[in-house]
C-alpha cells in the first residue's frame, strides 16, 4: 500500500507534523519528519526539520524539494502483561 501524497495534489494542515520525501539522485529518496508551515499570506509552504526532544531545545532548519508527504502513524500501544 502506498500512502504517499504528492505535494501537487494537496498539502498537510498548517503546523502538521508529517513524514516527507525528498528526491535524491543517489539514494532515490530521503525521508525526514518535518513540520508544514504557511507563511503570513497563507499560501507559500515551508518544510522544517525538527531536531531535539524538548520544545525549548528544538532546532529548525528549512528544507526544500519535498515531493511527497504522509501523516505520521499512531504511536504503538503499550503491551499488556
Domain boundaries defined on the chain: 10-71
Q: What pLDDT sits at residue 4?
A: 93
Residue 9, pLDDT > 80, answer yes
Q: What pLDDT sits at residue 6?
A: 93
Among 24, 15, 16, 18, smallest CA distance to 5 is for 18
Q: What pLDDT sits at residue 41?
A: 65
Region 2-10 average pLDDT? 90
Task: Judge whether 36 and 47 are in contact, CB under 8 Å.
Answer: yes
What does the pLDDT look like over 25-67, one tens digit per residue? 777 778 888 888 877 666 666 777 766 555 555 555 677 788 9
Amino acid at each position: 500500500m502506498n500512502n504517499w501524497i504528492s505535494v501537487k495534489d494537496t498539502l498537510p494542515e498548517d503546523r502538521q507534523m508529517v513524514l516527507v520525501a525528498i528526491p535524491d539522485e543517489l539514494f532515490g529518496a530521503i525521508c525526514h519528519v518535518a513540520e508544514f508551515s504557511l507563511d503570513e499570506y497563507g499560501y507559500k509552504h515551508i518544510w522544517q526539520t525538527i531536531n531535539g526532544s524538548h520544545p525549548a531545545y528544538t532546532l529548525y532548519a528549512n528544507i526544500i524539494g519535498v515531493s511527497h508527504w504522509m501523516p505520521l502513524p499512531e504511536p504503538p500501544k503499550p503491551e499488556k502483561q
